[in-house]
Amino acid sequence: MKKGFMVILAILSFLLIPGIAFAEGATPESNAIAIDTVWVLIAAFLVFFMQAGFAMVETGFTRAKSAGNIIMKNLMDFSVGSVIYWLFGFGIMFGASYIGLFGTTGFAISGAFDHLGLDIPIWAFLIFQTVFAATAATIVSGAMAERTKFIAYLIYSLVIIALIYPVVGHWIWGGGWLAERGMIDFAGSTVVHSVGGWAALIGAFLIGPRIGKYSKDGKAKAIPGHSITFGALGVFILWFGWFGFNAGSTLSGTSPDIALIALNTNLAAACGAIAAMLVTWIKYKKPDVSLALNGALAGLVGITAGCAAVSPLGAAIIGILAGVLVVLSVSFIDKVLRIDDPVGAISVHGVCGAFGTAMVGLLAVDGGLFYGSDASLLVTQLIGIGAVFAWTSITALILFGAIKYTIGLRVSKEEENIGLDMSEHGMEAYPGFQMKSHSV
């Protein structure tokens, strides 16, 4: 086995780094650019693999009768998103800025991008940003699972990737007004995850709960997912891909920062899982598997903003607090707000994304309040969180409202009861198996 691993490693090295060290006429500068380009591409491929992770988490945490529909949504939000982000989203996000609000150039990767100051080719940067954009859209899918029309999903995913997400990205990453204020969101706790989480909140609120989720007196009922194994596989895939998500955001394979970022990412995930497990053990008398898995994701989302700015101790603290927060948030949204979120996407991505962004203002080694600095960074972080919440919530409300009152957001009661696999796609993910129904 060891020999086989070494052979595979040698082949990958030959394919991925051709001639970096031995190219005739190469300079240290050109070698560094080549290494950085390969690093960004590998990181992009890791983040792309996270689509499979999201698909498995959502599929496992929901019922079998809509599993095929979930796979189709994850396939198409990336496929449609790749095209629409190339045509419109990238230009709005990284084009020349109009008063710090949105980009006005670079649509379909036309024109120059010298203002970005990139060393790597623009094509590498585009594919890296494309996989991030797809992540923001697919987050919404989980919160609205099992009752959303497929055509409605395609429309709102397109708008999120073409407009809602890129505007926020421009504010923080594209040289916009929040970037000018000095906001730190290194890999997207707010840009990616909170945008997806807040859009999910509005969407889940407007579409309403699944049939059978709440009793006539408003008491929440559990609707178990059909495969905790798929859910766990998805979380491990996401954990793995997150190393590309965070460390890849350096855009440099020659930066020593990637080691600290990877360590912080792992510590936050591990501490989040442990904290969520302990809280559920105390709260429910048994350690809850699904919430422990979401605890790992909460830690990952929480550390994404500050993975390059905090110490390992800070990362552990963020992970622990995010793991506790996600358990409390899931219960609050389910039982108090009575919003049906089958996978906990709002809590994991929206709530913990905002929390992690705020924690940078406290725990950043350079500029954090707990490290002797003033509150200016914390204030900037809070302003950014509030602005992104307002923009995303208002635009999502308009988007989902328009869909709801035109073509409709939700399938019929009959279609929901038989499952979206049959009603939307005319097939079953598990043909021959008896599916349980929660019809009333």
Classified as helix, coil or strand, 135 is helix
pLDDT tens profile 290-347:
999 999 999 999 999 999 999 999 999 999 999 999 999 999 999 999 999 999 999 9
Beta partners for residue 98, in sequence order: 102
From CA 86, how far away is CA 127, in angstroms rounded?
9
Q: Tell me: pLDDT of 23 over 80.
A: no
From CA 83, how far away is CA 333, in angstroms rounded?
34
Q: What is the number of other CB atoms lying within 10 angstroms of the CB of residue 6? A: 10
- As separate numbers, helices (DSSP H) first and strands (DSSP E) second, the chain gives 18, 2
Q: Which residue has the higher pLDDT, 440 or 152?
A: 152
From CA 390, how far away is CA 396, in angstroms rounded?
10
CA separation, residue 416 to residues 82, 226, 301 (Å): 29, 16, 31
pLDDT tens profile 93-140:
999 999 999 999 999 999 999 999 999 999 999 999 999 999 999 999
Q: Tell me: pLDDT of 368 over 50.
A: yes
pLDDT tens profile 383-440:
999 999 999 999 999 999 999 999 999 999 999 999 999 999 999 999 876 655 544 4
Q: Tell me: pLDDT of 63 over 70.
A: yes
What is the model's pLDDT at position 20?
47
pLDDT tens profile 233-268:
999 999 999 999 999 999 999 999 999 999 999 999
DSSP string, 11-52: HHHHHHSTTTTT-TT--HHHHHHHHHHHHHHHHHHHHHHHHH
Q: Which tokens is 331 given?
A: 């219960």
Classified as helix, coil or strand, 387 is helix
| Closest to 94 measured CA to CA, from 166, 41, 164, 158 | 166
From CA 399, how far away is CA 164, in angstroms rounded?
10
What is the model's pLDDT at position 414?
96
Inter-residue contact 60 to 343 (CB < 8 Å): no
- For residues 343-366, give the mean pLDDT: 98
pLDDT tens profile 168-189:
999 999 999 999 999 999 999 9
